[in-house]
């Protein structure tokens, strides 16, 4: 866990969340799936003027109304209450009632016309249903998603996004107080209209429609929800985070690349962190950790190589991965540290990581030692590197101010991407500096003979164990934003590698007399062809491992 003393922004308590529910009413048309949306009042306290799905707060009466609600096997009391609330809100706002007669037949139009949809009605919806022999069709309402309002917003909700088929014979009619202009729209069209600036929607609505657009029919949506692996529950859950992208507010879900960095820098949701890439100034991630990205963006380096500065003015600094021999970048590192660099550490010897070590050392007085592991004869000539001293596996580098503040970096040998690769753990704050072993936004290349897939996967297991032991939550990679949920990120990466290996093995069985260039298009059919020359290196590492495993068997 990050020490509170190292956080950049004072802790604050986000607004409490209120229980709510919303429902996406769906219908099939010749043009495709459509969803019912409505425009919120311009004076609403939350999302004024936005196009939304009908819904609202869960009331105490909604639990009591379960007496007239139908339940399918596996539907919990909470899910049933949420469905009742969504059905009630849909009836109050749009006059659409998901209900049927006791014999299972649809609700008659003349019966529906006798019911009071006003939210201020003294007669509760449950009582009105009982008086007319109606049952709420909540057994046909499924959970699509679970959204929790972003931490930065002053009004927050914990809300399931439910889905149901629009009942036949009913037409929506807005209450003209909370909701206006009900309309049927294809998800893709709603997104296009929002992008054009004439159909305003908030972030959860946008992201939900993006995923809904992948379904062709109502049945496909309901089937995905009803037969979710693991049983009842949302297809996804999200509490988005917001930051600044080139000075403008931008929001992200958990699977998106900036999310972990926002969780590290602004855990309570303040919108203060700039996510745009630049190479001029060091970016503060914590009081004792800054990132300066080299000006070497590219297909293999992403936004550029991240050099990390660990420490503070009182303790001095460790620079991790000084990057390429770029005088401007090295001068910026020297200036950001005031020249007080105690150690220079290279995670491995590749040309975008270690060549800057010696010239950075030359800028400093006294000269800091260059630490790391020497490249092996298997390394490419461009990756030749010999440190001033080798870092031992488990060795600790310690910075201290003599007043009780200490920053301790522990080395972990992690061969695989390169034979001399190592990672570093900032022990007091539970951070993992992963070099190229774990990246954000792509998988690292494992290039034999210096790269080895067996070693790479074993090193992933080693890092996972270190994260479990040290309560490490964040990974700071050499390329890309900070990753959150460190162990989940490592598990995802390992699973991806093993799935790719299974595709390669299948291609080898399909073409037993083939060569790597024959297997590549089959095993990497989901990767752009322009990336195949790079993918061929990792394919060679997987082939080597597959053959070793076959020999062992």
Give the model's confidence band at 25: pLDDT under 50 very low, under 70 low, under 90 confident, else very high.
Answer: very high
Q: Choose between 117 and 494: higher pLDDT.
A: 494
- The answer to whether 472 and 462 have CB atoms below 8 angstroms apart is no
Instruction: Name the β-bridge partners of 298.
Output: 302
Span 548-552, average pLDDT? 91
- For 234-273, what is each residue's pLDDT tens digit? 999 999 999 999 999 999 999 999 999 999 999 999 999 9
Question: Bridge-partner residues for 162, per DSSP?
Answer: 23, 143
Distance, first Cα to last Cα, the chain:
42
**What CATH number was assigned to the domain covering residues 282-491?**
3.60.15.10
Q: What is the DSSP code string of 276-299?
A: S--SSSPEEEETTEEEEE-S--BT
- DSSP, residue by residue, 71-88: --TT--HHHHHHHHHHHH
Q: What is the mean pLDDT of residues 333-347?
A: 98
DSSP string, 207-267: HHHHHHTT--SHHHHHHHHHT-TTSSS-SEEE--EEEEETTEEEEE-TTSTTHHHHHHH-T
Instruction: Return the residue matching tokens 């019911």.
Output: 115
Predicted TM-score (pTM) of this structure = 0.94
CATH T-level assignment (fold) for domain 17-239 = Nucleoside Triphosphate Pyrophosphohydrolase (3.90.79)
Percent of the chain exceeding pLDDT 90 equals: 88
516 touches 474 (CB < 8 A) = no
Question: CA geometry: angle at 393 spanning 390 and 388, to 5°?
Answer: 10
Kindly state the average pLDDT of the residues 309-326. Answer: 97
Residue 546 has pLDDT above 90, yes or no: yes
Q: Tell me the sheet residues that pair with 51.
A: 39
- pLDDT mean across residues, the chain: 95
Question: Which of 167, 260, 254 lies closest to 207, judged by CA?
Answer: 254
- Per-residue pLDDT averaged across 432-447, rounded? 96
The position carrying tokens 């020999």 is 551
CA 367 – CA 240 distance, rounded (Å): 45
pLDDT(36) > 90: yes
CA atoms within 13 A on the CB side of 20: 22
| 199 C-beta neighbours (distance < 10 Å), count | 18
CA atoms within 13 A on the CB side of 60: 0
Element (H, E) at 370: strand 370-372
178-202 mean pLDDT: 94
Kindly list the distances between the CA atom of residue 48 and the CA atoms of 40, 85, 164, 176, 474, in Å, as whole numbers in the listed order: 6, 21, 25, 14, 36
Locate the domains of the chain by residue range: 17-239, 282-491, 498-552
Rounded to whole angstroms, the Cα distance separating 186 from 36 reads: 9
User: Per the structure block, which two tokens stand in for 19?
Assistant: 């229980």
pLDDT tens for 39-67 read 998 888 788 999 999 999 999 899 989 99
Main-chain phi, psi angles of 373, to 5 degrees: -125, 140
How far apart CA 553 and CA 547 sit, in angstroms, is: 10
pLDDT at 120 over 80: no
Residue 525: count other Cβ atoms within 10 Å of its Cβ. 10
Angle between helix axes 532-552 and 453-470 (nearest 10 degrees) is: 90
Answer whether residue 102 shows pLDDT above 90.
no
Identify whether the C-beta of residue 292 lies closer than 8 Å to the C-beta of residue 320. no
Q: What percent of the chain shows pLDDT beyond 70? A: 99
Q: Closest by alpha carbon to 16, among 145, 151, 146, 147?
A: 151
| Statement: residue 175 has pLDDT above 80 | yes
How much is the pLDDT for 538? 97
The three-point CA angle 482-424-299 to 5° equals 50
pLDDT of residue 177: 80
Q: Is it the case that residue 122 has pLDDT exceeding 70?
A: no
Q: Are 321 and 291 in contact (CB under 8 A)?
A: no
Contact 543, 504 (CB under 8 A): yes
């Amino acid at each position: 866990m990050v020490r509170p003393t190292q956080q950049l922004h004072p802790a604050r308590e986000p607004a409490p969340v209120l229980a709510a529910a919303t429902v996406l009413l769906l219908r099939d048309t010749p043009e495709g799936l459509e969803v019912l949306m409505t425009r919120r009042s311009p004076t609403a306290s939350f999302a004024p003027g936005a196009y939304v799905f009908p819904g609202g707060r869960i009331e105490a009466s909604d639990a009591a109304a379960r007496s007239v609600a139908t339940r399918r096997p596996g539907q919990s009391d909470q899910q049933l209450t949420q469905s009742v609330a969504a059905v009630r809100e849909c009836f109050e706002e749009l006059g659409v009632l998901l209900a049927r007669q006791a014999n299972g037949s649809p609700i008659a139009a003349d019966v529906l016309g006798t019911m009071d949809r006003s939210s201020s009605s003294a007669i509760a919806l449950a009582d009105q249903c009982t008086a007319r022999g109606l049952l709420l069709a909540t057994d046909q309402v499924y959970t699509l998603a679970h959204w929790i309002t972003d931490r930065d917003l002053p009004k927050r909700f914990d809300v399931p996004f439910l889905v149901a088929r629009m009942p036949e014979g009913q037409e929506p009619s807005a209450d003209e107080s909370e909701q206006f202009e009900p309309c049927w729209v294809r998800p893709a069209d709603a997104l296009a209209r929002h992008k054009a600036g004439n159909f305003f929607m908030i972030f959860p609505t946008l992201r939900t429609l993006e995923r809904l657009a992948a379904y062709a029919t109502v049945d496909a949506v309901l089937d995905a929800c009803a037969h979710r692996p693991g049983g009842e529950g949302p297809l996804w859950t999200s509490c988005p985070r917001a930051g600044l992208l080139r000075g403008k507010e931008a929001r992200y879900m958990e699977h998106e690349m900036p999310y972990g960095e926002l969780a590290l820098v602004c855990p309570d949701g303040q919108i203060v962190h700039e996510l745009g890439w630049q190479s001029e100034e060091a970016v503060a991630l914590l009081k004792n950790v800054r990132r300066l990205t080299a000006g070497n963006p590219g297909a293999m380096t992403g936004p550029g190589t991240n050099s990390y500065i660990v420490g503070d003015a009182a303790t001095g600094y460790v620079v991790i991965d000084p990057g390429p021999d770029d005088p401007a970048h090295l001068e910026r590192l020297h200036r950001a540290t005031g020249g007080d660099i105690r150690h220079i550490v290279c995670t491995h010897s590749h040309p975008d990581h270690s060549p800057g070590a010696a010239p950075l050392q030359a800028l400093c007085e006294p000269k800091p030692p260059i630490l790391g592991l020497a490249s092996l004869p298997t390394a490419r000539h461009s990756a030749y590197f010999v440190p001033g001293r080798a870092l031992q596996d488990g060795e600790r580098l310690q910075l201290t101010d003599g007043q009780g503040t200490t920053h301790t970096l522990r080395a972990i040998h992690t061969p695989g991407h390169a034979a001399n690769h190592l990672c570093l753990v900032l022990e007091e704050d539970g951070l993992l500096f992963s070099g190229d072993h774990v990246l954000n936004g792509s998988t690292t290349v494992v290039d034999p003979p210096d790269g080895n897939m067996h070693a790479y996967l074993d090193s992933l297991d080693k890092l996972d164990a270190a994260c479990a032991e040290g309560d490490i939550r964040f990974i700071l990679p050499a390329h890309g934003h900070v990753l959150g949920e460190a162990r989940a990120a490592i598990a995802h990466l390992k699973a991806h590698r093993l799935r790719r290996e299974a595709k390669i093995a299948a291609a080898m069985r399909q073409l037993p007399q083939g060569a790597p260039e024959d297997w590549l298009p089959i095993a990497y059919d989901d990767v752009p062809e322009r990336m195949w020359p790079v993918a061929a290196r990792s394919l060679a590492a997987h082939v080597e491992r597959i053959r070793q495993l076959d020999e062992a068997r």
